[in-house]
Amino acid sequence: MTQNYYHKEIETMKPEDMRKLQSEKLVKQVKHVYENVPYYRNLMDEKGVKPEDIKGIDDLHKLPFLSKTDLRDAYPYGLLAVPLEKCVKIHSTSGTTGRRVVAFYTQNDVDLWEDCCARAIMAAGGTNKDVCQVSYGYGLFTGGAGLNGGSHKVGCLTLPMSSGNTDRQIQFMMDLQASILCCTPSYAAYIGETLKEQGYRPEDIPLKAGIFGAEPWTEEMRRSIEATLGIKAYDIYGLTETTGPGVAFECSEQNGMHINEDHFYAEIIDPDTGEVLPEGSKGELVFTSLDKEAFPLLRYRTRDICVLSRKKCSCGRTLIKMAKPMGRTDDMLIIRGVNVFPSQIETVLLKEGYEPNYQIIVDRVNNTDTFEVKVEMTAEKFTDKVSDILKMEKSLAGSMKTMLGINPTIHLVAPKSITRSEGKAVRIIDKRKLV
Ligand code: ADP
Ligand code: ZN
């Protein structure tokens, strides 16, 4: 595929020039934060670091971390770095893991964010000839606004659908011949399933690409969505605290996401010690915003577990890449002492021919964790013969044991009995109340 870049010079910049640019921006950003955010100034003072100590990226490690707890403590205005008159809007996290946090944007911040999303759309092959259907939620959630803005910047005809009302999504997709779909991977799977039920084959569907993110999804799920919709599916990553989607995006290589590192500097740290780990190590992803005005975060701990790589990419971009996040440190379940990620369960299910419609239910009975996975039978696998169901459950439990090291109780349920998600899917029901 011939490459289209939105910002060619930045996206293909030599790494040493990028580091210089990042260093210059960091010095300014640290000064801006120290002067305008008393909350962070206190953290720096406590650590004995002054803005003058930060002369470039090499000094970044001297700065204190910020965590989601800090954002909650400082709610709502404690981390705001400009007067409110300069802010044009707020967004808020989805609240997947607790109280929501709010982020503020100046007009420049909005521009920068939309540019990031425009880079993502062009990396997925988008041009001004495309019809881009944005089916992420609009409103406080960042997904809709970010991709909507990016789509405008590329010059696509933008369908601001928001999520939900799947029949209407399909009608507009067909009537207006949408060529790019942006939504969560779980909603893409649901739209695909509905199209199939309505009798559409992949070749009847006008889409060529999908830009899916905002939640973890596996390679197997990617392949399944690609087959159902007849598209190439690209990953996109971001979080409200740093703007929203578009912090990192996938290119034609579909093997990790390029980080918009001229705006967001990434580090990988050991989540227990805070030590910065070398490229290629697995650890917690930490971002420093380099240009943001209203809500600049220095060394923000995302809790996402990830690996960075500077390996050469066939698309020509030199921006550093992050692997698909495996899940968050707080998504990880510890069941009978074993670490379990929903993504591992999803991998097994798709390998065994199931769809990614499942729920993990954990409880504690007589001081022992119970671990149940509710899985939908597909229409092809459906049977009401008890002995067949038991056989299938046993076989699936065996495959899970091999992947996870512990044995779940599998509970197969009828097709379509697990609620579909139009936004981020809820996969875990933890009844143990450990926190
Ligand atoms: P919340 O933290 O309440 O879910 P956000 O809507 O800002 O708020 O979600 C950001 C989080 O979503 C990220 O920190 C990450 O855990 C997850 N996420 C976003 N994009 C992806 C992606 N492409 N792959 C995996 N996880 C993602
Ligand atoms: Zn690439």
For 334-430, CATH gives 3.30.300.30
Residue 166: the pLDDT is 96
Give 367-387 pLDDT, tens digit per residue.
899 999 999 999 999 999 999
User: Is 325 a pocket residue for ligand 1 (Cβ < 6 Å)?
Assistant: yes
Give the ligand whose atoms come closest to the C-alpha of residue 102.
1
Q: Counting atoms of ligand 1 from 1, which one is nearest the CA of 98? A: 3
CATH of 8-329 given 3.40.50.1820, 4.10.490.10, 3.40.50.12780, 3.30.70.330:
3.40.50.12780
Burial label, 84 (beta-carbon count in 10 A; 0-12, 13-18, 19+): exposed
Say how many Å lie between the CA of residue 9 and the centre of ligand 1: 28
**pTM score, two decimals?**
0.93
Give the ligand whose atoms come closest to the C-alpha of residue 331.
1
Q: Nearest to residue 288, comparing CAs of 60, 37, 120?
A: 60
CA angle 397, 403, 408 (to 5 degrees): 30
Say how many Å lie between the CA of residue 185 and the centre of ligand 1: 12
In this structure, the residue with its CA closest to atom 19 of ligand 1 is 214
> What's at 307, amino acid-wise?
V
Residue 331: the pLDDT is 75
Q: What does the domain layout of the chain look like in residue ranges?
A: 8-329, 334-430
Residue-by-residue DSSP string for 67-132 = -HHHHHHTTTTTT--S-GGGEEEEEE---TTSS--EEEEEHHHHHHHHHHHHHHHHHTT--TT-EE
Residue 434: the pLDDT is 62
For residue 314, what is the DSSP state? Answer: T
Residue 1: the pLDDT is 65
User: Is 302 a pocket residue for ligand 1 (Cβ < 6 Å)?
Assistant: yes
For residue 324, what is the DSSP state? Answer: P
Residue 100: the pLDDT is 77
Q: What are the structure tokens assigned to 239, written together?
A: 């979080």
Cα separation of 10 and 220, whole Å?
32
Q: What is the mean pLDDT of each run of 10 residues along the chain (435 residues)?
A: 90 98 98 98 98 98 96 94 98 76 96 98 98 97 97 98 96 98 96 96 98 94 97 97 97 98 98 96 97 98 96 97 85 87 91 93 92 95 95 96 94 95 91 73
User: Is 213 a pocket residue for ligand 1 (Cβ < 6 Å)?
Assistant: yes
